[in-house]
Amino acid sequence: MSRLANKTALITGGTSGIGLETARQFIAEGARVAITGSSAASVENTRKEFGDKALVIQSDAGSVEGQKDVARQIEQAFGHLDILFVNAGVAQFGPVEGWTEADFDKSVATNVKGPYFLIQALLPIFAKGAAIVLNISINAHIGMPNSSVYALTKGALLTFATTLSGELIGRGIRVNAVSPGPIATPLYGKLGTSEADSKAMASQIQSQIPAGRFGDAAEVAKTIIFLASDEASYIVGSELIIDGGMSNL
């Protein structure tokens, strides 16, 4: 298929999970792709997988100067940008009393500040008809215990989908969002909990999903392709929830 033929795309946090699968599918759909990742190891592994099919950039998603540098590299490599998938983020969970200012600031910087200033830095090179897709989370909608800061950051990001869609549509830029529920990705191995606690958490979460299972990254990627493509040209400021019915309970 070639729904993204001749399109240029940037995927932040594209070296694992939903971002990596989206990169694979974007390339299969004909897009020229750039990917950011935070760790040297993940960046190197992604470069090995894609070779010259993708530009892979190591970048701290919470650094404003880092986002400006990413924008410069995209302009140098592509000249313009048709698609931005804002996917990089950190998921840290814990009770209110356990949070430190440093941890709070890291979550806000990575999930909110970085994406905002990346979009700002990319504005001069977005093509007319460009599409921005923000990766939110159903945690922006549900009262999941121990997710207060994560949900706060995702709720803030969700407001970008509505406010920026109204502000940028006049420039020919569509802004939309996807909100995945529980997806089987490496994210659940990065929560800072023991293996036993992680398994117990996953089991408890799965019991709340009407579909009876975690989602697959490929299912999310297909939705992102749709929103990024010309097929969704009349969809502006919308959020598509992909959660197996979890938020309907």
Instruction: Look at residue 159 and give its three-state secondary structure.
Output: helix
Token pair for 182: 């529980």
Q: CA 148, CA 14: separation in Å to the nearest integer?
A: 25
Q: Is 104 exposed, middle or buried (0-12, 13-18, 19+ CB in 10 A)?
A: middle
Helix, strand, coil fractions of the chain, as percent rounded to 5:
50, 20, 30
- List the catalytic residues: 150
Q: Which of 25, 178, 197 is nearest to 89 (CA)?
A: 178
Token pair for 143: 């009262």
Token pair for 94: 């814990």
Q: Do 85 and 161 form a contact (C-beta atoms < 8 A)?
A: no
Instruction: Report phi then psi at 173, rounded to 5.
Output: -110, 120
